[in-house]
Protein backbone atom coordinates (compact mmCIF):
# COMPACT_ATOMS: atom_id res chain seq x y z
CA UNK A 1 0.00 0.00 0.00
CA UNK A 2 1.39 3.40 -0.94
CA UNK A 3 1.14 6.24 1.53
CA UNK A 4 2.99 8.86 -0.53
CA UNK A 5 2.16 11.71 1.87
CA UNK A 6 4.19 9.91 4.54
CA UNK A 7 7.38 9.46 2.50
CA UNK A 8 10.34 10.80 4.48
CA UNK A 9 8.18 11.81 7.45
CA UNK A 10 8.74 10.60 11.01
CA UNK A 11 5.60 8.82 12.24
CA UNK A 12 5.28 8.08 15.96
CA UNK A 13 3.36 4.88 16.74
CA UNK A 14 1.79 4.54 20.19
CA UNK A 15 0.11 1.15 20.33
CA UNK A 16 0.06 -1.59 22.98
CA UNK A 17 -1.21 -4.43 20.78
CA UNK A 18 2.08 -6.02 19.71
CA UNK A 19 1.06 -7.42 16.33
CA UNK A 20 -0.88 -4.31 15.31
CA UNK A 21 2.00 -2.07 16.39
CA UNK A 22 4.45 -3.91 14.18
CA UNK A 23 1.97 -4.16 11.30
CA UNK A 24 1.66 -0.35 11.43
CA UNK A 25 5.44 0.01 11.62
CA UNK A 26 5.92 -2.26 8.60
CA UNK A 27 3.26 -0.39 6.58
CA UNK A 28 4.82 3.01 7.28
CA UNK A 29 8.37 1.83 6.61
CA UNK A 30 7.23 0.29 3.32
CA UNK A 31 5.72 3.68 2.41
CA UNK A 32 9.08 5.38 2.93
CA UNK A 33 8.26 6.90 6.30
CA UNK A 34 10.58 6.78 9.27
CA UNK A 35 9.07 5.33 12.44
CA UNK A 36 9.47 6.27 16.08
CA UNK A 37 8.29 3.47 18.36
CA UNK A 38 6.09 1.64 18.70
CA UNK A 39 5.55 2.71 22.30
CA UNK A 40 3.21 0.41 24.27
CA UNK A 41 2.55 2.66 27.30
CA UNK A 42 1.94 6.28 28.23
CA UNK A 43 5.26 6.43 30.11
CA UNK A 44 7.28 4.98 27.22
CA UNK A 45 5.46 7.20 24.71
CA UNK A 46 6.25 10.37 26.67
CA UNK A 47 9.89 9.31 27.06
CA UNK A 48 10.28 8.55 23.33
CA UNK A 49 8.51 11.75 22.33
CA UNK A 50 10.80 13.81 24.56
CA UNK A 51 13.85 12.17 22.94
CA UNK A 52 12.91 13.19 19.40
CA UNK A 53 13.08 16.88 18.44
CA UNK A 54 11.00 16.54 15.27
CA UNK A 55 8.01 14.25 14.84
CA UNK A 56 5.77 14.79 11.82
CA UNK A 57 2.68 12.79 12.82
CA UNK A 58 1.47 10.18 15.28
CA UNK A 59 -0.91 7.25 15.59
CA UNK A 60 -2.21 7.16 19.16
CA UNK A 61 -4.16 4.24 20.60
CA UNK A 62 -6.73 5.62 23.03
CA UNK A 63 -6.28 2.87 25.63
CA UNK A 64 -2.79 1.61 26.42
CA UNK A 65 -2.96 -1.40 28.71
CA UNK A 66 -5.89 0.05 30.63
CA UNK A 67 -4.43 3.57 30.80
CA UNK A 68 -5.98 6.33 28.70
CA UNK A 69 -3.45 8.02 26.41
CA UNK A 70 -4.62 11.59 27.05
CA UNK A 71 -1.24 12.70 28.54
CA UNK A 72 0.39 11.71 25.24
CA UNK A 73 -2.33 13.54 23.29
CA UNK A 74 -1.64 16.67 25.34
CA UNK A 75 2.11 16.39 24.69
CA UNK A 76 1.48 16.00 20.94
CA UNK A 77 -0.89 18.99 20.89
CA UNK A 78 1.54 21.15 22.84
CA UNK A 79 4.20 20.46 20.19
CA UNK A 80 1.81 20.96 17.28
CA UNK A 81 2.19 17.37 16.10
CA UNK A 82 -0.83 16.14 14.12
CA UNK A 83 -2.17 12.77 15.21
CA UNK A 84 -5.00 10.29 14.84
CA UNK A 85 -6.60 8.29 17.64
CA UNK A 86 -7.18 4.57 17.09
CA UNK A 87 -9.69 2.81 19.29
CA UNK A 88 -12.08 -0.05 19.62
CA UNK A 89 -14.32 2.12 21.80
CA UNK A 90 -17.25 4.22 20.59
CA UNK A 91 -17.39 7.99 20.27
CA UNK A 92 -18.16 8.44 23.98
CA UNK A 93 -14.66 7.31 24.96
CA UNK A 94 -13.03 10.38 23.45
CA UNK A 95 -12.67 13.34 25.72
CA UNK A 96 -14.50 16.48 24.57
CA UNK A 97 -11.12 18.25 24.50
CA UNK A 98 -10.31 16.54 21.20
CA UNK A 99 -13.15 17.30 18.77
CA UNK A 100 -10.67 18.17 16.00
CA UNK A 101 -8.76 14.86 16.24
CA UNK A 102 -9.79 12.10 13.85
CA UNK A 103 -10.60 8.69 15.27
CA UNK A 104 -10.08 5.43 13.39
CA UNK A 105 -11.97 2.35 14.52
CA UNK A 106 -10.25 -0.91 15.32
CA UNK A 107 -9.72 -3.28 13.69
CA UNK A 108 -7.56 -0.78 11.87
CA UNK A 109 -8.28 -0.14 8.21
CA UNK A 110 -4.98 1.02 6.75
CA UNK A 111 -6.62 3.06 3.97
CA UNK A 112 -8.85 4.90 6.46
CA UNK A 113 -5.86 5.50 8.72
CA UNK A 114 -3.85 6.88 5.79
CA UNK A 115 -6.70 9.19 4.81
CA UNK A 116 -7.04 10.46 8.40
CA UNK A 117 -3.28 11.04 8.73
CA UNK A 118 -3.13 12.78 5.35
CA UNK A 119 -5.94 15.11 6.47
CA UNK A 120 -4.18 15.75 9.80
CA UNK A 121 -0.93 16.58 7.99
CA UNK A 122 -2.61 19.03 5.61
CA UNK A 123 -2.31 22.58 6.97
User: Residue by residue, what is the 3-state secondary structure of 51-84?
Assistant: HCCCCCEEEEECEECCEECHHHHHHHHHCCCCEE
Query: Looking at residue 108, what DSSP letter applies?
Result: P
The CA distance from 78 to 71, in Å, is 11
The domain covering 6-121 belongs, at the CATH homologous superfamily level, to Response regulator (3.40.50.2300)
| pLDDT score of 109 | 79
User: pTM value?
Assistant: 0.89
Average pLDDT per run of 10 along the chain, which is 123 residues long?
73 94 91 93 97 95 91 95 83 66 78 82 77
For residue 38, cis peptide bond before it (omega within 30 degrees of 0)? yes
The CA distance from 7 to 43, in Å, is 28
Distances (CA, A) of 109 to 24, 39, 41: 10, 20, 22
| pLDDT score of 2 | 46
Give, for 120, the enclosing helix (H) or strand (E). Answer: helix 110-121
Amino acid sequence: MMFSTLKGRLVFIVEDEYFLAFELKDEFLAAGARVLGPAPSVEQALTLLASEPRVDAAILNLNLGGEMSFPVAEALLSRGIPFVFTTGYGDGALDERYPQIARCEKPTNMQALHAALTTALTP
